[in-house]
Structure 1
Amino acid sequence: MFFHTQKLINPIAADEPDPAAANILQEGLGGQFGEMRTMMQYLFQSFNARGDAKPFKDLIQGVGIEEISHVELITTTINLLLDGSSRYQGKNAKTKAKGAAAKKAPKEPGAGGTTPLDEAPFAPNTHHFIVAPQCALPVDAAGNPWSGSYVYASGNLVLDLMYNLMLESTGRLQKCRIYEMSDNKTLRSTVAFLIARDHAHELAFAKALESLGVNWGKVLPIPNFDASQYPEVKKLMDLGIHLKQHHFRLDGSEMGKIFQGNSPVNDGTEVETEEEAPEGAPIEDLPERPEEFAPGLTPELLEMVEAVKRYK
Structure 2
Amino acid sequence: MYFHVQRLINDIEQDEPDPAAANALQEGLGGQFGEMRTMMQYLFQSINFRGPTAKPYRDLIQGIGTEEISHVELIGTTISRLLDGSPRYQGKKTDPVDAPGAGGATPLSIALDTGNIHHYLVGAQGALPVDAVGNPWSGAYVYNSGNLVLDLLYNLMLESTGRLQKCRMYEMTQNKTARSTIAYLIVRDQAHENAYAKALETLGVNWSATLPIPKTNAESFPEVARLLDLGLQSKQYSFDLTAESEAGRIFQGLSPSQDGTDLDASEQAPEGAPAPISRERYEEFAPGADKELIALIAATAAMEMADIDATFGRLP
Same topology, TM > 0.5: yes
- The Cα shift of 1:289 comes to 1.2
| Aligned pair partner of 2:182 in 181, 191, 213 | 191
Aligned partners of 2:178, 2:109: CA distance in 1, in Å?
24
For residue 146 of structure 2, give the secondary structure of its aligned residue in structure 1. coil
- The Cα shift of 1:193 comes to 0.1
Residues 1:154 and 2:155 are matched in the alignment: no
Aligned partners of 2:223, 2:33: CA distance in 1, in Å?
22
Q: For residues 264-307 of structure 1, what are the alpha-carbon distances to aligned partners after superposition, in whole Å with 9 as ceiling and x for unaligned?
A: 23343211112342101001111111211111112211110121
Structure 2 contact 108–283 (Cα < 8 Å) conserved = yes
Which residue is equivalent to 1:71?
A: 72
Q: For residues 28-48 of structure 1, what are the alpha-carbon distances to aligned partners after superposition, in whole Å with 9 as ceiling and x for unaligned?
A: 000000000000000000000
What is the RMSD of the two structures over their aligned residues, measured on CA atoms? Answer: 1.9
Are residues 223 and 86 of structure 1, via their aligned partners in 2, closer, same or farther at CA, if it must alter by over 3 Å?
Answer: same
For residue 265 of structure 2, give the secondary structure of its aligned residue in structure 1. strand
Which range moved further: 7-16 or 221-230? 221-230
Are residues 267 and 193 of structure 1, via their aligned partners in 2, closer, same or farther at CA, if it must alter by over 3 Å?
Answer: closer
Which residue is equivalent to 2:290?
A: 298
Structure 2 contact 157–211 (Cα < 8 Å) conserved = no
Aligned partners of 2:259, 2:123: CA distance in 1, in Å?
46
- The Cα shift of 1:206 comes to 0.3
Aligned partners of 2:146, 2:70: CA distance in 1, in Å?
25
Q: Which runs of 5+ in 1 are unaligned?
A: 90-104
Q: For residues 240-259 of structure 1, what are the alpha-carbon distances to aligned partners after superposition, in whole Å with 9 as ceiling and x for unaligned?
A: 00001011111221000000
Are residues 80 and 219 of structure 1, via their aligned partners in 2, closer, same or farther at CA, if it must alter by over 3 Å?
Answer: farther
Aligned partners of 2:12, 2:115: CA distance in 1, in Å?
22
- The Cα shift of 1:86 comes to 7.3
Are residues 300 and 309 of structure 1, via their aligned partners in 2, closer, same or farther at CA, if it must alter by over 3 Å?
Answer: same
Aligned partners of 1:209, 1:305: CA distance in 2, in Å?
52
Aligned partners of 2:212, 2:64: CA distance in 1, in Å?
17
- The Cα shift of 1:49 comes to 0.5
- The Cα shift of 1:309 comes to 3.2
Which residue is equivalent to 1:49?
A: 49
Which residue is equivalent to 2:278?
A: 286
Residues 1:233 and 2:234 are matched in the alignment: no
- The Cα shift of 1:225 comes to 3.5
Aligned partners of 2:2, 2:240: CA distance in 1, in Å?
9
- The Cα shift of 1:64 comes to 0.2
Residues 1:59 and 2:60 are matched in the alignment: yes
More helix by share: 2
Structure 2 contact 17–87 (Cα < 8 Å) conserved = no
> How many residues matched?
297
| Aligned pair partner of 2:122 in 131, 137, 161 | 131
For residue 125 of structure 2, give the secondary structure of its aligned residue in structure 1. coil
Are residues 57 and 76 of structure 1, via their aligned partners in 2, closer, same or farther at CA, if it must alter by over 3 Å?
Answer: same
For residue 236 of structure 2, give the secondary structure of its aligned residue in structure 1. strand
Structure 1 contact 210–264 (Cα < 8 Å) conserved = no
